[in-house]
Structure 1
Amino acid sequence: MVKGEDAVRRKKNKAVRRKIRKQNDSSAVSAKVASIIAAKKRRLSGKRRMCQGMCFSLPTPDDPFNDRHGKEEFKTKSTKKKTHTQKAEKSVDGKGATGRKDTLAGKENEVTESKNEKKKSVTATHNQGRECSIDLERASIEVIKKGSHCGRQGQDCVNSESPSKFLIWCLSSIENALRLDDAYTDGELFFNSWGLEFWKCYSTGKDIMETSGTSASTEQIAWMVSCAADTIARKEKEGLSFPSPFLLFLVPTQEKAAKVRAVCKALKPLGIHTVSIHPSATLDHQIQGLKSCEPEFLVATPERLLELVSLKAVDISGASMLVVDELNSICSADHIDTIKSIKESISGAPRLVVFNDCTSHKSLPMVQYLLPGSICRLSLNSSVTSQSSCIVQSVKVCESEEEKLKKSIQVLDQSWSGQTHKLDVLYILRKDVKSQKLVATLKSKGYSISVGSDTQKLNDSVDSDRRMKPAVSMIDVEHISTADIGKYDVVLLPSFVPSISSYVRILTRMARQSVNGVLHSFLTKEDSKLAGPLIEILEQCGQAVPEALQNLHLTSNMMEE
């Protein structure tokens, strides 16, 4: 029986609908095509598989280094009891300190990796849209391990092979902000030579004296504030709080205060708030501003800071780090007593960083007041002026060899009688009969003497009433190129060195761990040829030239004519 036209059309439409259903059904296609279709559906709906997060996820504010690859962080309940003091739970303004603590400590948790990793990389997305991959293995530095000299005031030394990820993150934030403002066009902060050396010195826990002879640059400020922010993050992670500003940054002018604050402003999204105070603003305005916030960093000129401290507008007693920039400029402006008052207002012993202009010795008493203990010298300037900063050069002209020996012993007695700290004394001698006479004289006075590194120790026992006398070391002038003289604060040259290059070598290598170095030189008419070069060294280092040395130089010129 022949079907009608309507039946044929219905059958044909049914076949078409079946074909369309098969095309839309992913189960009818191959497994590969089906996975592509499913992935597209998940991508459009905002859901991805775990493996896709590794390929397509981007850094976020909660996970800036993409450590979790887009995965959610699983939170587990802590079984430890939190024992925060009332001071830690509540800040000065009553808003509570937990907000800043969570901001810093939480971010520190997110960016901390195992210390045993040999390679760490950080991806910092610039505002211009480019990405900078940083290999921290290049920034690896050997750090002095924890020892007796580490950290005062209970501060722990940073004992790791490279700067922490949070510190690098702070540097990245600063660099991106400066590039956006067109205020920074040099190379990357991460591999700045001075910054890496500063981090190495900072990790030892000692005070730091910078002797390059210039004020703090943008790169140097960035590294100092980043190290301070890293310390805050680590301490707050341990449950500590800072009711007072953690960092005091003293500057001589309002312009320098603005420069420092411009660098620190980039750390505000990380929970570090900076306040700048200077004489250009009214006292009432600054008092109200300090009452409304709790800054971690305080950038100030000395006179205005002391005013606010005297009015009890700000409490700096708990400051943990003090940076003094352009110390000579501050001292030249008659703020010596102001600096001392600020230092006395800080309880305990804060970490100090002093930028000392090495071309003048006017600020030496202030440097010795601020840095009484063991220090780290930091300078990438290899000049004689920079390397001999804070070392006093004492030159005496004598009539005879006997007078030289007598005066050298008098200098040693005076140094010992007036000492307030451990004194390390070094005699640099020539091999002659006079040296043997000097050794015998010092032995008779009760000094403990060691001659060279390859000879026996002399005069091991001393009288009970003379045990406090310093041990005196003696080496031959021929061995100064190989001897380690960095630990000696007082060096005596009873017979002047044969060349001015030897004198410079001694001057730039002694007293590396203190600011109390003194180099005593004793000359006679036989050393008149070296008087001229020695005068040039003294003038170059900003030290007074004795009249007797000037006369010796004139005598030498007359003899040559």
Structure 2
Amino acid sequence: MAKGDDAVRKKLNKANRKKLRKDDRSSSTVTARVASIIAAKKRRQSGKRRKCQGMCFSLPTLDDPFNDRNGRKDFETKVTKKVMLPHRDESEFLKEKCREIIRKNEKAKNPGLKNLKVTSLKNEQKKSLASVSSAVQRSRIDSVRTKTQLSGNQEQACENSDCPSKYLIRCLNEIENSLRCDGTYNNEEDKPLFVSTWGVEFWKCYSAGKDTLETSGASSTIEQIAWIVSSAADSISRKDEEGPSATSPFLLFLVASQEKATKVRSVCKPLKVLGIHTVSIHPGASLDHQIQGLKSSEPEFMISTPERLLELLSLKAIDLSGVSWLVVDGLQSFHENGYFDKVNSIRNSISRKTRTIVFDDCFRRACVPVVQSLLTGSVHRLSLHDSVTSQSACIIQSVNMVSLNDKQSKAVQILERAYGNQPCAQASKVLYVVGKDSKYHKLVAALKLKGYSISFGSALSEVGNSGEVKGKMRPSVSMIDTDQIDTIKLDEFECVVIPDFTLSIDSYVQILTNMARYTVNGVLHSFFTTEDAKLAGPLIKILEQCGQSVPEALRKMSSSSAMEQ
């Protein structure tokens, strides 16, 4: 029976479909290994396994009751134990650790937060020794901790000790990285900001809560500004943890010019990523624009010139009652521009509890009253130099020309004029530097008659008891001879009187640079007679170098002495 057309067409279509399926398989062919993997996967999904695959799975055990690990053993981690050091090898270990930390610190050009362990390098060697010593002590307490745990304990100890916090170090690193990218900060020694010698000394003052008097003889540098604003940012972060902060600026940075304001603003700008907002107020911008900017933002830092800030205060556009830090940068520029009265007005509008930092680059006697009005409490002196000018800043040198018979009476009158009318003077300490002659017994008797308590030589440690006469407190007076200058601490004496100028110029300089370290009210009185004419020339040089007034009689005595020689 002949096939019909439908059967022929059906058979032809079947052949075409078979050919197409064969072409598809040839185009999507895979290797035998991949095909076996695909097939095994399909069998697992369908629940069918080979016998050999069933043997690859272990039964649940007591250690793995749910068979989560499928019979695999736990990886054994090797615990690094701390080696207990004998006492005799501990010093060698500390020295080696210090050298290793110092080498790593010198190679680190752009340190990050990972270098926090190096922050214990305060003076680059002394603090390193203390940090490693504390690490060894912690390792004795728990010798089984791993390196990660020990590192975490070191960071926690750094937070609770007197070294800078991690947040402060982060602020310094943000500033340094930004300024290095801009080419603004180029340190010759290529050292990070957080190992600065000045910064370490400033941190001690910051931790003690004292006012600061910087007497290096120049305005603030980038390094000093970075430490100040980073410390202020650290204080803000601590206050935010305790509760909401005030709406007024936390830090007020007074500068004398728009150029200086721009410099300080460039150092503060990198802290914006950490939430610290800074505004710069100066005559270079319109007053209305600055008022609108202060209303729309609540800056933590404010950099301003005195005249523009007084305009804002007169318009009540800003409140300075909540300022915690005041920085007065460069007294020389304020003196040249006649800003001293304006600076005093700004200081009076701020709370007396505000901590103050003054960069004293003007060693003239006219600047001393301004510094005394700004720094009313105990101060901490900072200086990058050991010169007589920087160490004797804000100490008034008073040279009195007297006759030989009037020395003792004048020495008593000096004390009466200084403390006789004060209602309370128990915090003051007075020192008389006298000779070994018995004639000073009259001076002691005259002082006791006025109500002053006297201590001699080795009894200076008992100084502190002041007497009261007719309702007025009298300061305690100490007396030493010229041979005891090297053995007495002079830093707490605000007033030093030299009735007889028998000591050398070197001893005079030693007294001048070591007295009144914690105050800006130091006064050094000395009495000169015609017998001391040979010392007039060297004394005049010191007075002129320190910006002090020179009596005309002393100049005449010096010139006459030079002519006789």
Q: Which category describes the TM-score, using the shorter chain as reference length?
A: 0.7 to 0.9
Instruction: Return the alpha-carbon distance in structure 1 between the equivalents of residues 315 and 534 of structure 2.
Output: 61
Deviates more, 1:347-356 or 1:15-24: 15-24
Counterpart check, 1:139 vs 2:122: yes
Residues 58-207 of structure 1 aligned to structure 2 (within 5 Å): 135-139=118-122, 160-186=161-187, 187-207=191-211
Amino acid at match of 2:357: V
Instruction: Report the counterpart of residue 97 of structure 1 in structure 2.
Output: none
What is the rounded CA distance, in whole Å, between the counterparts of 1:242 and 1:505 in structure 2?
46
Report whether the alignment pairs 1:343 with 2:347: yes
Check the 8 A contact 2:331/2:362 in 1, yes or no: no
Contact 2:434 2:500 in 1 (8 A): yes
| Residue-by-residue CA offset, 1:26-57 (whole Å, 9 max, x unaligned) | x99xx9xxxxxxxxxxxxxxxxxx999xxxxx
2:420 match = 417
CA contact (8 A) 2:110 2:192 kept: no
**1:16 CA drift (Å):** 4.7
The equivalences for 1:221-260 within 5 A come to 221-260=225-264
Letter in 2 for 1:350: T
- Structure 2 residue 374 is matched with structure 1 residue 370: yes
CA contact (8 A) 2:210 2:378 kept: yes
Comparing 325-334 with 175-184, greater Cα deviation is found at 325-334
Deviates more, 1:321-330 or 1:245-254: 321-330
Bigger proportion of residues as helix:
2
Match of 2:10 in 1: none
Pairwise mapping of residues 295-444 of structure 1 onto structure 2 (< 5 A)? 295-400=299-404, 402-419=405-422, 422-444=427-449
CA offset at residue 358 of structure 1?
4.1
Q: Deviations over 1:320-363 (max 9, x none)?
A: 11000012311331222221221222235211001112432221
Residue 24 and residue 417 in structure 1: after superposition, are their counterparts in 2 closer, same or farther (change >3 A)? farther
**Paired position in structure 2 for 1:447:** 452
Partner of 1:555: 560
Does 2:521 correspond to 1:519?
no
1:284-303 → structure 2 map (5 Å cutoff): 284-303=288-307
Q: Distance in 1 between matches of 2:372 and 2:165?
A: 32
The 1:127/1:206 distance shift into structure 2, 3 A limit, reads closer
**TM-score, with length taken from structure 2:** 0.72
Q: In 1, are the aligned partners of 2:463 and 2:476 still within 8 Å (CA)?
A: no
Alpha-carbon distance in 2 for matches of 1:199, 1:486: 21
Structure 1 segments, 4+ long, off by >3 Å, are 13-25, 124-134, 418-422, 454-464
Identical columns (%): 53
Q: 2: distance between equivalents of 1:387 and 1:369? A: 20
Q: What is the SS of the residue equivalent to 1:363?
A: helix
| Structure 1 residues 131 and 541: alpha-carbon distance in aligned structure 2, compared to 1, 3 A threshold | same
TM-aligned CA distance change 1:127 to 1:459, over 3 Å: closer
Determine if contact 1:451/1:458 at 8 Å carries over to the other structure: no
Question: Paired residue for 2:223?
Answer: 219
Query: Is 2:484 the partner of 1:479?
Result: yes
How big is each residue's C-alpha offset from its partner over 1:284-305, in whole Å with a ceiling of 9 and x where there is no partner? 1111111111100000001101
Query: Contact 1:448/1:459 (CA < 8 Å) preserved in 2?
Result: no
Distance change (3 Å), C-alpha of 1:418 and 1:358:
farther
SS of match in other structure, 1:135: helix
Q: Spell out, residue by residue over 1:233-280, the C-alpha distance to the aligned partner (whole angstroms, 9 max, x if none).
A: 011111141210000000000000000000000000000000001001
**What is the alpha-carbon root mean square deviation over aligned residues?**
3.6
- CA shift at 1:23, angstroms? 13
Counterparts of 1:302 and 1:456, CA distance in 2: 45
1:266 to 246, 267, 270: 270
- Preserved contact between residue 321 and residue 351 of structure 1 (Cα < 8 Å): yes
Q: How many angstroms does 1:18 deviate by?
A: 9.1
Residue pair 1:328, 1:362 contacting (<8 A) in 2 also: no
Instruction: Classify the secondary structure of the residue corresponding to 2:280.
Output: strand
Change (3 A) 1:484 1:18: closer
Distance 1:389 1:455, change over 3 A: closer
1:538 & 1:484 partners in 2: Cα distance? 23
Structure whose CA Rg is larger: 2
Q: How many residues align?
A: 446
1:395 to 1:230, Cα distance in 2 relative to 1, 3 A: same
Distance in 2, matches of 1:200 and 1:279, equals 36
**Closer, same or farther: CA 434–244 of 1 in aligned 2, 3 Å:** same
- Measured in 2, the distance between the counterparts of 1:216 and 1:507 equals 25
